Amino acid sequence: MSSETLSQSEIDNLLRRGSSAATAPAANAPAMDVQIYDFRRPSRVSKEKLRTLESMYERLVKSLEGWLIGRVRGQIELQLQSIEPFSFGEFIFSLPTPCASYLFDIADSGGQQGVIDIGHEFAYFLVDRFFGGGSGNLTSMDRSLTPIERTHSIQLQKAVDVWAALGCRVVKMTPESHDAAFAAVSHLPHLIAFAMMNAISGQPMGRDFLSLAGPGFRDFSRIAASEPAMWRDIMMSNREELLAQSKIFQRNLQALELMIANGNEEALLEQIENASEVRANWSMAKHQK
């Protein structure tokens, strides 16, 4: 090895020769299929799975097309443009504000959910048609009211007048307030009655226990004999509010159990007296005035 020090120009010449040698193609080298790989968004789904998804979404698009045609009273053609895999976070950040996006349960998927976002123009079109309109390509909700929308308030007042004439107390409330209220005073009592009857009848001595039941049990358990399919549908349709009320009930039940377990007679008596007073001061006629 030579100990002579290379000059800067000699080093530059060596680097240029190495670079040109590295980039020169081999005489008999086969042609290569080079594909660009995006490290920021790597492929998450194989080509085979993408083809399966494409076929599935094609069927979904055709089903949705038929459903919409029957409801908007007009011809609609839907087409699947493309399938692009990306993360849920990327999808969320791509949504406009405001947006018309909805979560839905996917049947037979083990509890998986999907999300659908409806573009503004298409959403305006659907709202207009569902309310009886016949507008063309809408780009905003600045439009004339449809006949259904113009008569909605009139018909609503007529319905209120009819019920009031029959002696009913008509209460106007939001759907959310309605669901919360009836989950507390109707749906939860039915849920408790169903659970109580199953808890007693499911015991080895359940039949014997029921044979000793009296008027109190009869009155308390009456609603457990309600129509099963109807109450299944009611509970499932209002599940969120019902489960919220069930948790509140369970906390109160557990508090009473704790008082009994600890022998806290004073606290137990106080809770019983409070419940007794509330019930004694309540009546349907009184609260419907």
- Provide the residue range defining the domain that includes 101: 47-130
The answer to whether residue 32 sits within a structural domain is no
For the chain, what is the domain count?
2
Q: Examine the fold and report which residue of 68, 100, 130 is the final residue of a domain before the chain moves on.
A: 130
Q: Is 188 exposed, middle or buried (0-12, 13-18, 19+ CB in 10 A)?
A: buried
Among 101-110, 127-136, 149-158, 170-179, which is the least confidently predicted range? Answer: 127-136
CA dist 267 and 40 (Å) reads 62
| Mean pLDDT of all residues belonging to the chain | 80
The answer to whether residue 156 sits within a structural domain is no
The answer to whether residue 64 sits within a structural domain is yes
Q: The CATH number of the domain where 183 resides is what?
A: 1.10.3660.10
The answer to whether residue 110 sits within a structural domain is yes
Q: Examine the fold and report which residue of 130, 163, 197 is the final residue of a domain before the chain moves on.
A: 130
**How confident is the model at residue 106, as a pLDDT?**
82
Question: Does residue 101 sit in the same domain as residue 195?
Answer: no
The answer to whether residue 230 sits within a structural domain is yes
The rounded radius of gyration (Å) of the Cα atoms in the chain is 35
Question: Does residue 121 sit in the same domain as residue 189?
Answer: no
Global confidence as pTM = 0.48
CA dist 77 and 71 (Å) reads 14
**How confident is the model at residue 1, as a pLDDT?**
45
Question: Does residue 193 sit in the same domain as residue 270?
Answer: yes
- 6 or 237: which leads in pLDDT: 237
Question: Does residue 54 sit in the same domain as residue 114?
Answer: yes
Task: Dump pLDDT digits (tens) for 136-150.
Answer: 545 555 556 666 666
The answer to whether residue 263 sits within a structural domain is yes
Q: Under a CB-based contact definition with an 8 Å cutoff, are residues 95 and 55 in contact?
A: no
Q: Examine the fold and report which residue of 100, 130, 160 is the final residue of a domain before the chain moves on.
A: 130
